[in-house]
Structure formats: structure tokens, C-alpha cells
Amino acid sequence: MRAVQIKEFGGPEVLELVELPDPVPGAGEVLVEIARAGINFADTHKRQDQYVQKSGAGALPLIPGNEIAGRTADGRRVAAILPSGAGGYAERVAVPEQALVPVPDGVSDDQAAAILIQGLTAWGLLRVSGHLRAGETVVVEGAAGGTGTLCVQLAKGMGARVIALASSPEKRDLAQRLGADAAVDSRSERIEEEILAANEGRPVDVILQMSGGEAFTEQMKALAPFGRMVVFGIATREPNEYRTSWLMKASQSIAGFWIPHLLERPDLIEEGIPELLGSVASGALEVVVGGVFPLSDAARAQTELAERRTHGKLLLDPST
């Protein structure tokens, strides 16, 4: 089979298209012919071994990608988050039967591959860590991305006011088309003032933060008493420190969110996945796919994602 393999950590150039033997399923595993593989921002960190959980040289060589949609040998349409955290950038992968998610009629391969990780992330950010309630205001950073576009729609469905942060007029227009009540330039030097203005001068209740650095510091200033900042990324690679005394005096909370912890909770997965897939099948939730790249273009796809030149979810097509 064809696959993209990493033999050393580094830049996009280490993503090498190779020919490998087909995976041999072990006990309790099923071979899946991959129709689409999801590309995630975390993949760019893993490629450099700078992810939250480092792989280490002992993990090499590896096939990146942990999100797929495809078909089993007996014709079932399935999707999966790969338990090994890798193997998706390929034509085939062996997956534990218990990890397979049936794809309902009305959900395409593109939608199925795009909804699991980023859909569960958006769902978990809002429902589990953000505790968003109807009537509250939520700020969504990266609102035109794969996770952000889903956060905007899910938050609106929960009865919240949504302020989208995005870096270009086109991205802000997309967020507003999906239901955002207001959109702000995420690169503004007056981000606190612009967020407050977008909320009619009032501080906000929840902020979904994925950049870190100065943006984190400035956005915290727009948070209301009893407000919640939920951190789910550090795109700038500039981690922040915050004094507990500041949190106490402002009656605010800062929470972190990392998808592997949600995946360890069967009760949350069993609640979240049917809700997400059902909403996609009914048309209530739009999955924005920003591009489908040939397997051979994995390096270009990761580069465009890292440089924020894309919107929505990026996918790989192993057949091309």
C-alpha cells in the first residue's frame, strides 16, 4: 500500500510517500480501506515531536494521522479515531473493531472523516469544559477552522451569543454565515476592546482559546466574573502563566482541554458522537471541508494549515 511515513522529526519535507506492506489485523482488529484521512493541527506538532505527548525517536518510523473514514472488507461504512494515534495517512489501516463508528446514511466520507476529532473537540469544549449555557456569550478563536466552524454552530444551537475571531474578512464572513452574531479580526492590536464592543460593551462568559501568548493575555481582560477561559491549543508555542490571586479576585476560571482525555470517557463519547453524526445527517450541522489533498500532497496540506492559509477541515484522499 501507499503511505506517508516519517523517518525523522522535522519540517514538512520529512513526510515521505512510500510503499509498505498492507497491515495485518491482529486479534479483534479489522482492515479498513481508507477513503479519507483527517489532517489536524496537532499533526504538525507531532511531525516535529513537539506535541503535548512526545513520541520520541523510538516511535520512528511512523505513519501520521489518527482520524479516518472508509470501508471494511464486508462493505460497512465506518469512521474511527485510531487508538494508536497514528496510521491514517495511508491506503489501509488495521483498527480495533470496538473503535469503529458506523457511518449513517446521509453522512459522506468527507463529513465522517472531518467530524470525529474536531466535532468531539468542539462538543467537549462547549459542554464539558466550558459549561456553556443558553443566553451566555462565547468567543470562538480560530472560528473559520475545522474546530471553530463547528464550535460556532454548536454554540448557536445551545442558545448562546457567538463572537467569532478570525484573521481575514473571508474567514469572518464564513463564521457569520454559520451563525456567529459578530466577528472580530483576531490579529487586532485592540482585541480586548473589539471583543467588548462586539458584545455591546459587556464582558463575555466563555472564551475558547487556542493561540496562547499575547492573545491569551488580552482576551482574559474581556472575561466576565464567573467567566471561563478554555485553552485547547498553543499555536504560537508561547505558553502563559497566570496568578491564582488574579483568578480569585476576578472570580474567573481557566480550564484546559485535550481530546485524549475525552476519548478515555466512554460515557462522553457515547453521548457526543451520536449527537454530532445525527446533526450532520439531518443537515442541522454543516461540516466545512476546506480542501481534499492527494496523499502525495500531505506536506503541502500541513504547510498551508500551519500557515493559516486554509479554512474548515483539510482531508487526504489516499486513492490519489
User: For the segment 234-292, what is each residue's pLDDT rounded down to a tens digit?
Assistant: 988 899 999 999 999 999 999 999 999 999 999 999 999 999 999 999 999 999 999 99
288, 311 contact by CB (below 8 A): yes
Q: Would you say residue 85 has pLDDT above 80?
A: no
pLDDT over 70, % of the chain: 98
- What phi, psi does 165 have (nearest 5°)? -110, 125
What's the pLDDT score for residue 35?
98
Beta-carbon neighbour count of residue 244 at 10 Å? 8
Average pLDDT estimate for 91-95: 98
Q: Would you say residue 225 has pLDDT above 90?
A: yes
What's the pLDDT score for residue 129?
98
What's the pLDDT score for residue 77?
98
Res. 57 pLDDT band, cuts 50 70 90: low
Res. 56 pLDDT band, cuts 50 70 90: low
Query: Which residue would you say has higher pLDDT here, 57 or 51?
Result: 51
Length of the chain: 320
Amino acid 26 reads: G
Average pLDDT estimate for 300-318: 92
Distance CA 205, CA 48 (A): 35
Q: Which of 16-20, 55-59, 100-104 has the lowest mean pLDDT?
A: 55-59
> Residue 291 has which C-alpha cell?
480542501
Nearest to 219 by CA among 231, 209, 232, 205: 209
Residues of the chain with CATH 3.40.50.720: 121-261
What's the pLDDT score for residue 59?
81
Could you identify the residue written with the cell 487586532? Answer: 188
> Residue 121 has which C-alpha cell?
473537540
Could you identify the residue written with the cell 489485523? Answer: 25
Mean pLDDT score of the chain: 95
3-state secondary structure 68-102: EEEEECCCCEEEEECCCCCCCCECEEEEEHHHCEE
Q: Is 126 helix (H, G, I), strand (E, B) or coil?
A: helix
Residues of the chain with CATH 3.90.180.10: 2-103+288-317
Beta-carbon neighbour count of residue 197 at 10 Å? 14
Domain covering 121-261, topology = Rossmann fold (3.40.50)
Res. 47 pLDDT band, cuts 50 70 90: very high
Q: What is the pTM of this model?
A: 0.90
What's the pLDDT score for residue 84?
76
Query: Which residue would you say has higher pLDDT here, 188 or 54?
Result: 188
Q: Would you say residue 74 has pLDDT above 80?
A: yes
CATH no. for 2-103+288-317: 3.90.180.10
* Cβ neighbourhood burial of 27 (10 Å; 0-12, 13-18, 19+): exposed
Average pLDDT estimate for 98-115: 96
Res. 53 pLDDT band, cuts 50 70 90: low
Query: Which residue would you say has higher pLDDT here, 308 or 69?
Result: 69
Q: Would you say residue 145 has pLDDT above 90?
A: yes
8-state DSSP, 292: E
Res. 143 pLDDT band, cuts 50 70 90: very high
What's the pLDDT score for residue 170?
96
